[in-house]
Structure 1
């Protein structure tokens, strides 16, 4: 592999001036300001909850934002994943030798807290760039060039990033999987027994609503990189654009569709998000009425009526369960969203929950079209 990723440092967003993403992350999701920088027409604010760090690049001035690339997106979006690597210069050379575009060659940034070296690589998921970062010995709160921002001391209700989901064009998952394997050290993670990595997991929504193909990737044990999910629409007739197709159309290509944020207490986290004004997706009404669903929820130690009230999905068996709740889009374009996830022993992604999420997004889109 060219540049094995050791950890996810941060996820970067590009938004226009005045877009309230940074405020929403604080007010609704409990993130706290970590560090800030203003230069060349850019306002960059890093926010943290546990080990999850988001970097909001606001504006769009001359040149590139520090530690990233200005992609000139058609819509506000999550545009960059920053990974820690052992040797940025060697990684950039290795990736370039494989034919990868390196629009920002290795550059070092120094301040009183130490030095960091980074390079930016174009990924095959068109709208998503990757920053490779080397910051051994840096002692500051975030990265060189950023100033500390005083914030509240209370911890947020998110502990780390659980997974990252890319919206991909139909048929592209095998190519993307090989790229992330060869370049960053990701490996196929089966979501079902005996799964063919070239085919992934097919989840049909039913009733002619289409569905999606999921391929999961993970880095070797010992790294701190979240699971990467490649999601593409299943070929077949649907009523209008599905959620993946809508993302591809609005973003004019593939990119980061949603981020799964791990919380140790999804009931409390969901309640806080709702009280703060966060908008959550409502699961299909039939979800909690499925045969065996009430028994499953009780076996996991939860009250069915409370989960239904908060829109929390639960899947799993044999003492291993997965709880998830999904927000509506963080942007007016109705594309990128967040997920809160809690695992009780489960390591995968429940097919029943995937199907329910798909139906929820499709029903939400249908209601928006009728309004």
Structure 2
């Protein structure tokens, strides 16, 4: 019996110096400050856009601080209840081990019962960093535990908020109620609503092991990216200089568990998980470069769903976010230009913002009868890496009925990376100083 995941609660960054990331999330990416917690050992700050919540955790980059945080998290989990400001440990709701580079390493799930989940998962052989622990404040109590996943440094916090009525989590200070409620209002110029998918970069031939672990522990189900996808091979993208294998999975859909928060009178979309690995004997590629610079498998990128990608991309670009732009030829190719125009967009507009369009290969085009309004497609755009290392980045995605992940755009994205690398080489040469060229991934 696997654990029943209700919804994705938040995703945590672990960085050495949080100042720049905190500033960028607010000023560039238009996230709202949601809650914060500061001790003499760490700083945790939560940011929210729709139901997408990022928690920036400062401290994991320091060996001394990180070891202390992990030790504290393990030490205090003896069945005690902690109140805010009264002996609360550093690193609440988290216990990611030290990592040598900035990383995104904790995906927090809401579950029905943490104690039961802990028992079930322990019996299945899952390793826990933090056993069930209860934290409370004036708004109620929350029970959580932290487990180590099978993917690199990725951990999962399991959390039960059924007895909590506060704005975020006990131990965190939140803005006044009126301001907090306003965070549910849609930002017309940047209508990001939720996490669309999380992509893991993994070692070659590890996809089956990763998917098997998530199916066994959480009951995740296989999500086929393309029609007639081979269950063993996954979605294979094999072309000159490109060799990738993609496979996707999802947890129980909200329609099955009846979750409707925080969308009023609507079902909250689920977030899918994608596994990316390189194919053997294809030379170094984007996944291999991530594994090298990240020091192992991990979260390569997270896609944020937006209701209007043109407006969102324009708003973020004006605020200073840098996006990858595909070669101009992408928009002038006869087939792609026709594909774009048939769904009511103009190549010029998409090119201006570097937005890619991919028709859903799962749709039955023969049933469309020339009705372009019913054609399924998605729009996507990718930021440049947000850390000093060229590892983690964000994606914006808008779906018009399409369920894939833009696999038809891989070739164009690859060319973006090549152009980016070449620019870095030229900048290094002009500066007259040697520079290690780092590859950006998608």
Task: Bin the TM-score by the shorter chain.
Answer: over 0.9
In structure 2, the CA distance between the partners of 1:179 and 1:303, relative to structure 1 (3 Å rule), is same
Q: Distance in 1 between matches of 2:234 and 2:19?
A: 37
Contact 1:314/1:353 (8 A) holds in 2: yes
Equivalent of 2:156, from 110, 117, 130? 130
TM-score normalized by structure 1?
A: 0.94
Contact 1:40/1:63 (8 A) holds in 2: no
Q: 2:211 matched to which residue of 1?
A: 177
Contact 1:312/1:323 (8 A) holds in 2: yes
Q: 2:263 matched to which residue of 1?
A: none
Equivalent of 2:286, from 234, 237, 243? 243
Q: 1:338 matched to which residue of 2?
A: 394
Q: 1:14 matched to which residue of 2?
A: 14
**For the aligned residues, what is the CA RMSD?**
1.8
Contact 1:4/1:183 (8 A) holds in 2: no
Question: 2:69 aligns to what SS in structure 1?
Answer: coil
1:262 maps onto 2:305 in alignment: yes
* Aligned ranges 1:274-285 → 2 under 5 Å: 274-285=317-328
1:218 maps onto 2:250 in alignment: yes
Offset from partner CA, 1:98-148 (integer Å, 9 cap, x none): 221101101010001111111111000011001111110311111111001
In structure 2, the CA distance between the partners of 1:155 and 1:29, relative to structure 1 (3 Å rule), is farther
Equivalent of 1:298, from 322, 341, 355? 341
Q: Distance in 1 between matches of 2:329 and 2:237?
A: 18
TM-score normalized by structure 2?
A: 0.79
**Unpaired segments of 5 or more residues in structure 2?**
71-90, 258-268, 366-374, 429-442
Q: Distance in 1 between matches of 2:175 and 2:58?
A: 16
Q: Distance in 2 between matches of 1:266 and 1:43?
A: 32
Offset from partner CA, 1:265-324 (integer Å, 9 cap, x none): 000000011100101011133211222211211122211101011100001165111000
More strand as a share of residues:
1
Runs (4 or more) in structure 1 with deviation over 4 Å come to 150-156
Q: How far did 1:25 drift? A: 1.0
Q: Distance in 2 between matches of 1:92 and 1:354?
A: 39
Q: 1:38 matched to which residue of 2?
A: 38
Q: Distance in 1 between matches of 2:422 and 2:387?
A: 18
Question: 2:128 aligns to what SS in structure 1?
Answer: coil
Q: 2:3 matched to which residue of 1?
A: 3
Larger radius of gyration: 2
In structure 2, the CA distance between the partners of 1:227 and 1:48, relative to structure 1 (3 Å rule), is same
Equivalent of 2:142, from 103, 116, 119? 116
In structure 2, the CA distance between the partners of 1:98 and 1:28, relative to structure 1 (3 Å rule), is same
Q: How far did 1:19 drift? A: 4.2
More helix as a share of residues:
2
* Aligned ranges 1:307-326 → 2 under 5 Å: 307-316=350-359, 318=365, 319-326=375-382
Equivalent of 2:194, from 157, 160, 168? 160
Question: 1:63 aligns to what SS in structure 2?
Answer: helix
Offset from partner CA, 1:48-68 (integer Å, 9 cap, x none): 000100000013433241101
